[in-house]
Amino acid sequence: MILPSPLRVRFAPSPTGYLHVGGARTALFNWLLARKHGGQFLLRIEDTDKARSTDDSTRAIFEGMTWLGLDWDEDVVYQGANLLRHQADAYRLLETGHAYRDFTSPAQLEAWRAEAEAAKLPFKVDRAKVILPRDVEAAKLAAGEPFAIRFKVPDGTTEWMDLVHGRIAFPNKDIEDFVILRSDGTPLYNHAVVSDDIAMGVTLVMRGDDHISNTPKQILIYEALGARLPVFGHLPMIHGTDGKKLSKRHGATAVADWQHQGILPSAMVNFLALLGWSPGGDLEVMLRDELIGRFDPDGLLKKAAVFDPKKLEWMNGQHLSRLPIAEVEPPVTRGIVAAGFASEAELAARRDWYHRLLDLLRVRARTVDDIVRQAEPYLRAEIAVPDDLWAGLAKDAEATRSALTAARGALVALPDAQWHDGAAMEAALRAAAEGIGLAAGKLFTPLRTVLTGSKVSPGITDVVAMLGRDRSLARVDAALARLPGAP
RNA sequence: GGCCCCAUCGUCUAUCGGUUAGGACGCGACCCUUUCAAGGUCGAGAGACGGGUUCGAUUCCCGUUGGGGCUACCA
């Protein structure tokens, strides 16, 4: 399918909560399309529903978009600011005979609806009852009675070539004459959207497929207004692990939740892109630019996808390892500072060392938090060996003592020049173990435990090198002194 | 109920009539190995069902079933 030119797409969330991963995915696909083809990506806040819209939500959307790196072009459009145009468009439809005044009270409508439901019949407003004779209408109008403006759905069929689904058609007889302007003068969703999309020059509308049944109504409005139709594309939904529509019950559904759980924007974007789209081959891990380069509407899927947090974490681990260090540093630093392990200034003061540490830790981490947690022993002066690990060491105090003593001796004897020579240090430690008839692992393990307070860490020589001689020896000495039977 | 959309391993997906139905996550085993990751090898694991069309259907058509969406003077 050929894309419109100029290409102007938009993301139009209503600010009633947080930036949901589903919304983020919709925004991402629009953004990808615009960035790939040199189009414009616009942002419109649909704050028409004052009761549900809040400034906090609007801010959350901006923050989420910014975090993900989805920058928008031109000024943000606030739907609420376009009230006058929405009204003018509605009245234009009234004047051109594409809509009519409806003086029916909400209570009456409700009664009709209940009636139809009782009779198990599909409800549609009855034009014969609603459209009044000219003189009656004039009288009500003169009396100042409130009325809504209802769109007059013509006979026929409304269809379009959907960017992802191909041809979709709705018989117009199944579409009710719908209200476009409330009796209080405010527009309804379908009307405001079309009015705004026309005004913004949007040429391609890509949104969730929960909007498929809104599309024929919107197309009818475009046509009645004499506007050029945009291309429509409807993206599949995102579901939770239980196959149901993704919601709060599934835990983290806001992009900010993932941000706080140590997910990188780069990974989030990559993961989201693969939900409902495929580059066609076996590609999985793609950085931003590659995503833009490969994105193609032909790869858009029709089937709803399940959001799998496990795969997101794996994806994050991949990005953590592959991204330039400059991109993983900021969030890790924030975490370290927040945890109180070090100050930003302290880290900046030994930047090379810090980056070496990050390189060592990121390969075995899946989240930013994993790195922060593992960085603790290298940043703090003192460490505490957890009780259960200490118990393991103390159980055979003599073996532990001789292993630590041998390791200590090897480290003390290691020339400064070899301190950062992993192979030399390893040889020295292995020789020390052999010297007391121990397998090397039996020496590395207790050493690791007393140096890091953990049973997992980078290779032992890297640990020692990162810690430095003084701190390493101090930790060994502290453990030696604490061992049962110590002098 | 009516209308619309959808349907390949548990999950994300490849396949654009002919494949031992491929890859990834997760799971299991093994290798590497000083731990944990990472990496490597291997394994279990899928075309919802029924009809057509065709020499041949996962692929095209119809139906069934099962999911989902909409059905407001909500967005």
Q: CB < 7 Å to strand B — which of 434-463 in chain A?
A: 440-441, 444-445, 448, 455-461
CA-closest candidate to residue A127, choices A99, A146, A107, A147: A99
- Crossing angle of the two packed helices A387-395 and A440-452, in degrees rounded to 10: 140
* Mean pLDDT value across residues A259-288: 96
CA-closest candidate to residue A235, choices A203, A211, A208: A208
Query: Which pLDDT value is given to residue A241?
Result: 80
Residues in chain A: 487
Residue with tokens 């959350």: A60
Domain map of chain A by residue range? 324-379, 387-482
* Mean pLDDT value across residues A146-162: 96
Answer yes or no: is A54 CB < 7 A from strand B.
no
pLDDT in tens, A46-58: 998 777 778 899 9
- Please tell me which residue lies nearest to nucleotide B22, judged from CA to C1': A282
Answer yes or no: is A104 CB < 7 A from strand B.
yes
Answer yes or no: is A160 CB < 7 A from strand B.
no
Q: What does the block give as tokens for A230?
A: 């945009």
Q: HEC states along A353-420?
A: HHHHHHHHHHCCCCCHHHHHHHHHHHHCCCCCCCHHHHHHHHHCHHHHHHHHHHHHHHHHHCCHHHCC
Residues A22, A184 contacting (CB under 8 angstroms)? no
How are beta strands A148-151 and A99-102 bridged, if at all? antiparallel
Query: Which pLDDT value is given to residue A459?
Result: 96
Q: Is A99 helix (H, G, I), strand (E, B) or coil?
A: strand
Answer yes or no: is A278 CB < 7 A from strand B.
yes
Query: Which pLDDT value is given to residue A244?
Result: 74
Between the CA of A51 and the C1' of B32, what is the distance in angstroms? 61
pLDDT grade, residue A250 (50/70/90)?
Answer: confident
Residues A336, A342 contacting (CB under 8 angstroms)? yes
How confident is the prediction for chain A on average, in pLDDT? 94
Count of CB atoms situated within 10 Å of the CB of A237: 17
pLDDT in tens, A378-404: 999 989 999 999 999 999 999 999 999
Residues A187, A92 contacting (CB under 8 angstroms)? no
Q: CB < 7 Å to strand B — which of 363-402 in chain A?
A: 363-366
The second-level CATH assignment, the architecture, of A387-482 is: Orthogonal Bundle (1.10)
Query: Which pLDDT value is given to residue A35?
Result: 97
Check pLDDT > 80 for residue A92.
yes
Check pLDDT > 90 for residue A45.
yes
Q: Which residues of A carry out catalysis? A: 248
B chain positions with any atom within 7 Å of a protein CB: 1-8, 10-15, 22-26, 34-39, 67-75
- Please tell me which residue lies nearest to nucleotide B70, judged from CA to C1': A213
pLDDT grade, residue A122 (50/70/90)?
Answer: confident
pLDDT in tens, A7-37: 999 999 999 889 999 999 999 999 999 999 9
Buried b (16+ CB within 10 A) or exposed e, A246-263: beeebebbbbeebbebbb
CA distance A9 to A197: 9
User: pTM of whole model > 0.80?
Assistant: yes
Between the CA of A164 and the C1' of B38, what is the distance in angstroms? 38
Between the CA of A460 and the C1' of B73, what is the distance in angstroms? 71
Query: Which pLDDT value is given to residue A123?
Result: 85
pLDDT in tens, A190-202: 999 999 999 999 9
